[in-house]
Amino acid sequence: MFYQDERLALFIDGANLHAAAKSLDFEIDFKLLREEFLNHGKLLRAYYYTALMENDENSLIKPLVDWLTYNGFTLVTKSAKEFTDNQGNLKIKGNMDIELTVDAIELAPHVDHIVLFSGDGDFRPMVESLQRQGVRVSVVSTNQCQPSMIADELRRQCDNFIELKELRDRIRRPSNRKIL
């Protein structure tokens, strides 16, 4: 539930949202996503968090990152780290939870409602902290796939759970559009 006069901020865990949308078999059009939430109140900020590989000029995320920075999103990035796990598999690590949490808690005195696009249960203490400061928190993720993309503890803690599948038709990237 949103109120027209409330001050909103979006916090998008890029990797988590991408995985949730992929599990529902669609790609997000971030222009449509931003417009969707502009209609729900006074959108003050829209943050997008992602890790990037250093020296990867051919990255598939590069066009999205460029578009977001020119179209009303605050992009927060850090370098992803490559490592080899115990089984000898190459892995990439680029967790942005701390950066997102710090930014949300710092912005809390200036907003009424934060919309978190992530199902990561690690955000439950952040949501609880924001609520103690009087901020309402909605979480956008999905439980319409196996396994569920929303942690039970996060869903229980938030004020409002928004099923990503219910937003799909309003924020889906048209098949004829390259990025956004």
- Rounded Cα–Cα distance for residues 48 and 118 (Å): 11
Q: Which two tokens stand for residue 152?
A: 């039970």
Confidence of residue 21 (pLDDT cuts 50, 70, 90): very high
Domain tally for the chain?
1
In a domain, 65, yes or no: yes
Residue 89 pLDDT > 80, yes or no? no
What is the domain range of residue 15? 7-171
Q: What percent of the chain has pLDDT over 90?
A: 71
- Rounded Cα–Cα distance for residues 69 and 26 (Å): 22
Confidence of residue 93 (pLDDT cuts 50, 70, 90): low
In a domain, 71, yes or no: yes
In a domain, 2, yes or no: no
Q: Domain holding 126: CATH number?
A: 3.40.50.1010
In a domain, 1, yes or no: no
Phi/psi region, residue 134 (left: phi>0; alpha: psi -120 to 50; beta: rest), is left
pLDDT in the model for residue 56: 60
- Rounded Cα–Cα distance for residues 78 and 96 (Å): 8
Q: Which two tokens stand for residue 143?
A: 């439980």
Confidence of residue 174 (pLDDT cuts 50, 70, 90): confident
Residue 168 pLDDT > 80, yes or no? yes
Confidence of residue 53 (pLDDT cuts 50, 70, 90): confident
In a domain, 128, yes or no: yes
In a domain, 32, yes or no: yes
In a domain, 124, yes or no: yes
57 three-state secondary structure: coil
pLDDT in the model for residue 55: 65
In a domain, 179, yes or no: no
- Name the residue with higher pLDDT: 115 or 93: 115
Whole-model pTM?
Answer: 0.89
Q: Which residue in 143, 113, 103 sits closest to 42, CA to CA?
A: 113
